[in-house]
């Protein structure tokens, strides 16, 4: 059985620009009208793709922090302020404050900004520590954690802020295909899971460090399987190796198959910001695995082969 692993040249992390545009303090703005000289932020996106499925979905939200200039401390009480997209679609969507509006100081003091996705009101502490739980894999967008790099030295006279978001977890996509002695009907009630997984971790939004895994026990995580049995998806923590990790596939007609990730010769771990794509051809006696590793944006490199039994 052949495993082909195609790695891809990194062209850079997926960039999702958001622009905060300043406007006159006496205009009608979401959240209310002011005339005291403050400049409010209005958010628009110029994205090409979004993390989950290539487009923003209605009510998608990001959490925004205004920080004191060149510090990691919250300024003016603007911590974890949600901004949302009002309608679904690809790039060019406008974001509006969900409730509170962020304003620059009227005296011209500089401020820094940082943001994350997906927004949560209860998963983030006052210190900016975001709790991640990957036990539940459906819907995928709820666990596709991203952080935007800090944007510095902004003020009411320089109010345009462009965020560049990057994935902090790893993505798995499994495509299932019928092989010798197997038909598509055999994939009814298909399920897939990944063994040896930590399920809990944290991320400090304010300092932008890597994700920290907090759970010490390893679990088998059921992946999100499409109802037609053709695909399964998962989001996992970055790892140092593949020790103890296996895919387990189960179908009603032909039982269970297991494939150890240690058989992957080129890929030795899950890395943040990368997508791991596996094409599983199920035969009556074994499974064939073709896999590739990509960034969450285009890029190609030659691969390798291996056997899966």
What confidence score (pLDDT) does residue 218 get? 96
247 vs 228: CA distance, rounded Å: 19
Rounded percentage of the chain residues whose pLDDT exceeds 90: 45
Helix (H, G, I), strand (E, B) or coil at 108: coil
Mean pLDDT of 182-201: 92
For residue 107, give Cα distances in angstroms to 36, 104, 154, 157, 229. 11, 9, 13, 10, 59
The answer on pLDDT for 266 being more than 80 is no
157 vs 104: CA distance, rounded Å: 9
Which pLDDT band holds residue 44 (cuts at 50, 70, 90)?
low
Determine if residue 208 is left, alpha or beta; phi over 0 gives left, psi from -120 to 50 gives alpha, anything else beta: left
What confidence score (pLDDT) does residue 35 get? 58
Which pLDDT band holds residue 6 (cuts at 50, 70, 90)?
very low
The answer on pLDDT for 131 being more than 90 is yes
Q: Of 50, 15, 65, 100, whose CA–CA distance to 207 is shortest?
A: 65
The answer on pLDDT for 21 being more than 90 is no
Q: Determine which of 93-102, 192-201, 299-308 has the lowest per-residue pLDDT on average.
A: 299-308
Angle at 66 between CA 105 and CA 46, to 5 degrees: 105
CB 78 within 8 A of CB 206: no
Domain boundaries, given as residue ranges, for the chain? 39-167, 170-295
What confidence score (pLDDT) does residue 188 get? 82
Q: Which pTM value belongs to this model?
A: 0.81
What confidence score (pLDDT) does residue 43 get? 60
CB 292 within 8 A of CB 259: no
CATH of domain 170-295: 2.60.40.2630
CATH of domain 39-167: 2.60.40.2620
Q: Do domains 39-167 and 170-295 have the same CATH topology?
A: yes
């Amino acid at each position: 059985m052949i495993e082909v692993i195609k790695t891809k040249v990194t062209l850079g992390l997926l960039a999702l620009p958001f622009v905060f545009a300043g406007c006159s303090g006496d205009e009608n703005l979401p959240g209310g009208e002011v005339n005291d000289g403050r400049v409010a932020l209005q958010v628009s996106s110029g994205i090409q793709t979004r993390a989950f499925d290539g487009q923003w979905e209605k009510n998608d939200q990001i959490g925004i922090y205004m920080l004191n200039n060149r510090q990691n401390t919250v300024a003016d009480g603007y911590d974890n302020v949600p901004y949302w997209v009002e309608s679904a679609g690809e790039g060019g969507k406008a974001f509006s404050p969900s409730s509170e509006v962020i304003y620059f100081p009227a005296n011209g003091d500089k401020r820094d900004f940082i943001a994350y996705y997906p927004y949560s009101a209860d998963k983030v502490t006052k210190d900016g520590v975001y709790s991640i739980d990957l036990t539940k894999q459906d819907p995928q967008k709820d666990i596709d954690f991203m952080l935007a790099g800090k944007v510095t030295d902004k003020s009411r006279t320089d109010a345009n802020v462009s965020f560049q978001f990057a994935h902090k977890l790893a993505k798995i996509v499994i495509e299932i295909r019928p092989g010798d002695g197997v038909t598509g009907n055999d994939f009814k009630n298909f399920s897939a899971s990944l063994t040896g997984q930590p399920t809990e971790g944290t991320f400090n939004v304010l300092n932008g460090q890597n994700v920290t895994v907090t759970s010490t026990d390893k679990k088998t995580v059921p992946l999100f399987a499409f109802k037609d049995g053709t695909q399964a998806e998962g989001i996992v923590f970055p790892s140092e190796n593949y020790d103890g990790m296996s895919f387990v596939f189960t179908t009603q007609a032909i039982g269970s198959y297991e494939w150890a990730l240690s058989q992957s010769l080129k890929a030795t771990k899950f890395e943040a910001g990368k997508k791991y794509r596996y094409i599983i051809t199920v035969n009556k006696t074994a499974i064939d695995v073709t896999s590739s590793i990509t960034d969450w944006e285009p890029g190609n490199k030659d691969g390798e082969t291996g056997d899966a039994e």
